């Protein structure tokens, strides 16, 4: 890279920034500067999360030539809302890992239970497959380079019973897809650990550099 490029990392709903640390180290070793943010994933809705992150993202983006984004799970939805209302002018490429872009049948089955609502908060209710108009308006069109990596292995056999078709234990491959995406790939990885996969990390780096997956 001839000029400094940055990568914003956004974790999933039940995780912390530490879950993306191995991937962050790979990105740093490849020459990217990183911003790996903790955020209140289980206490706010998607719009509130994006608004809370916007100042830090703006400040980070001002110091790099291009700002890329790499997300895991619900972090992909946070990124979509962030880009709708607070898109940086120097936006680069976006890679989503196991994103519930079209929701998850697991959330459909559980979101009405009080325990689920206590654990996953307002954002958890926004992970369902049937979203109301207010929720749908949060997501703008995909008019940026977007690569999506879906997983096809599960460590959640009971949850997978709720998921029709190939899945990573939390999201079906089909529901990771998004109109306007640039590239899509399916790897034999599970939802909670996919970001630690060396192959997935290689594919993420390839998309950031080339705008497509290498399919190594």
Q: So where are the chain's domains? A: 5-210
Other CB atoms within 10 Å distance of the CB of residue 103: 20
pLDDT given at position 143:
95
CB 73 within 8 A of CB 191: yes
Three-state SS at 93: strand
If you classify domain 5-210 with CATH, what class do you get? alpha beta
pLDDT given at position 42:
79
pLDDT given at position 170:
94
Other CB atoms within 10 Å distance of the CB of residue 216: 8
Burial 10-45 (b: 16+ CB within 10 A, else e): bbbbebeeebbbebbebbeeeebebbbbebebbebb
pLDDT given at position 216:
61
Low-confidence residues of the chain: pLDDT under 50: none
pTM of the predicted model, to two decimals? Answer: 0.93
pLDDT given at position 119:
75
The alpha carbon torsion through 208, 148, 45, 129 (nearest 10 deg) reads 170
């Amino acid at each position: 890279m001839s000029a400094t490029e940055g990568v914003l990392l956004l974790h999933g709903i039940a995780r912390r920034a530490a879950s993306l640390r191995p991937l962050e180290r790979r990105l740093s070793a490849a020459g990217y500067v990183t911003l790996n943010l903790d955020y209140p994933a289980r206490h706010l809705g998607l719009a509130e999360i994006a608004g809370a992150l916007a100042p830090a993202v703006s400040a980070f983006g001002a110091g790099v030539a291009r700002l890329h984004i790499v997300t895991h799970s619900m972090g992909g939805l946070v990124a979509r809302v962030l880009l709708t209302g607070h898109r940086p002018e120097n936006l680069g490429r976006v890679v989503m890992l196991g994103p519930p872009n079209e929701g998850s049948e697991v959330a459909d089955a559980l979101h009405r239970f009080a325990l689920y609502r206590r654990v996953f908060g307002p954002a958890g209710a926004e992970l369902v497959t049937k979203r109301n108009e207010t929720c749908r308006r949060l997501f703008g069109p995909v008019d940026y380079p977007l690569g999506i990596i879906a997983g096809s292995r599960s460590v959640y056999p009971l949850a997978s019973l709720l998921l029709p078709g190939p899945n990573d234990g939390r999201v079906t491959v089909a529901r990771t897809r998004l109109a306007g995406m640039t590239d899509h790939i399916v790897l034999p990885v599970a939802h909670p650990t996919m970001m630690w996969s060396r192959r997935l990390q290689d594919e993420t780096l390839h998309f950031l550099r080339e705008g497509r997956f290498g399919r190594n």
